[in-house]
Amino acid sequence: MKKKDKLIIPFEGLKEGIHEFDFHVDQEFFSNFEHSIIENAEIDVFVTFEKKTNLFLLHLDINGVVNTECDRCLDDLQLEIDGEQNFVIKVTEKSIDDDDHIIAISPNEQELDLTHVIYENIHLLMPIKIAHDDIEDCNPEIIKQLNLVNHPDEDDEDEDEQDPRWDALKKIK
pLDDT digits (tens, 9 = 90+) for 46-84: 999 999 887 899 999 999 999 999 998 989 999 999 999
Residue 148 within a domain: no
Report the alpha-carbon distance of residue 50 to residue 165 in Å, rounded. 78
Residue 48 within a domain: yes
Residue 150 within a domain: no
Residue 100 within a domain: yes
Amino acid at 44: D
Ranges assigned E (strand) in the chain: 8-9, 17-25, 40-51, 55-69, 76-91, 102-105, 112-113
Residue 72 within a domain: yes
* Sign, CA torsion 166/167/168/171: positive
Non-local (6+) Cβ contacts of 123 within 8 A are 36, 37, 38
- Please tell me the predicted confidence (pLDDT) of residue 122: 96
Residue 98 within a domain: yes
- Please tell me the predicted confidence (pLDDT) of residue 81: 96
What predicted TM-score, i.e. pTM, was given to this entire model? Answer: 0.76
Q: In what order do the strands lie in the sheet with 40-51?
A: 17-25, 40-51, 55-69, 76-91, 102-105
Report the alpha-carbon distance of residue 25 to residue 114 in Å, rounded. 12
- Please tell me the predicted confidence (pLDDT) of residue 37: 87
Amino acid at 163: D
Which range scores top for mean pLDDT: 1-5, 13-17, 90-94, 151-155? 13-17
SS3 132: coil
Residue 59 within a domain: yes
Print the domain residue range for 75: 3-134
Residue 45 within a domain: yes
Paired residues of 158 in beta bridges: none
Specify the higher pLDDT residue, 27 or 94. Answer: 27
Ranges assigned E (strand) in 27-145: 40-51, 55-69, 76-91, 102-105, 112-113
Report the alpha-carbon distance of residue 89 to residue 103 in Å, rounded. 5
Paired residues of 112 in beta bridges: 9
Q: Provide the number of structural domains found in the chain.
A: 1
